Amino acid sequence: MYNPSHFKEKNRQTLLAFLEENPFAFLTGSFASGVLVATQIPVLTEERDGELYIQGHMMRQTDHHKALLENAHALAVFTGPSCYVSALWYSNPHGGSTWNYMSVHVRGKIRFMANEELIGLMRRLTLKFEGGNTASHTVYDNLPDSYVNSMMPAIVGFELKAEQLENVFKLSQNKDEASYLNIIAKLEAQGGSAAKIAEEMQKRKAAIFAQTRK
């Protein structure tokens, strides 16, 4: 992971909120042989007794299920908005352009769930992504028994206990104030993902340049 200290978010609650807002995680692992596997999975995050857990489900007998049975070590990568930042926007444009982005890495060991745990997970997962709408036909408790009975044996629930939580919030924190403000303006004008990065930069502007204004 790219590791300069000025690109690190130090507030744990900000990191946990980021995981909640970007729940489609890129889960990687490997077979005991070292052959890598990866999949993208919608997940839930949960804190218990000060520890962070990532929960989700996957199809049984897929490569990532088989690999994680052999080797429980896994890495879940959560990514947010990202965008290109041109050096032409800097006060001194004679330098390299770059890419701003936000990412959190969660490392730990996978534990596969018992059937009752999986049912509880599916209740919480479907309700969360249906916006808490208990009347929705697609939340777990409203699904037809025939569907549940045919699909549940095909999936397995997992839980990853976070042993390491790392992040990169690369948001031009190393630029001078004039460059920083111009980058925000250029990104806001682009809209989309770029505008979301600009919004994050706006949130941090006062704290970044507080010392230079004294």
Average pLDDT over residues 2-15: 92
Among 4, 47, 2, 54, which Cα is nearest to 29's?
A: 54
Rounded-to-integer distance, Cα 29 and Cα 26, Å: 10
Overall domain count for the chain: 1
Average pLDDT over residues 130-134: 97
Residue 45 within a domain: yes
| 155 falls within a domain | yes
Strand blocks (E) in the chain: 24-30, 36-42, 44-48, 51-59, 73-85, 98-112, 155-170
Q: What percent of the chain has pLDDT over 70?
A: 98
Residue 196, domain member (yes or no):
no
User: Domain residues for 29?
Assistant: 5-82+101-172
Q: Specify the 3-state DSSP secondary structure of 108.
A: strand
Tell me if 131 is assigned to some domain: yes
Residue 153: inside a domain: yes
Residue 213: pLDDT over 60: no
Q: Once rounded to an integer, what is the mean pLDDT over residues 135-159? A: 97
pLDDT at 190: 96
Question: Domain for residue 150, yes or no?
Answer: yes
CATH number of domain containing 131: 2.30.110.10
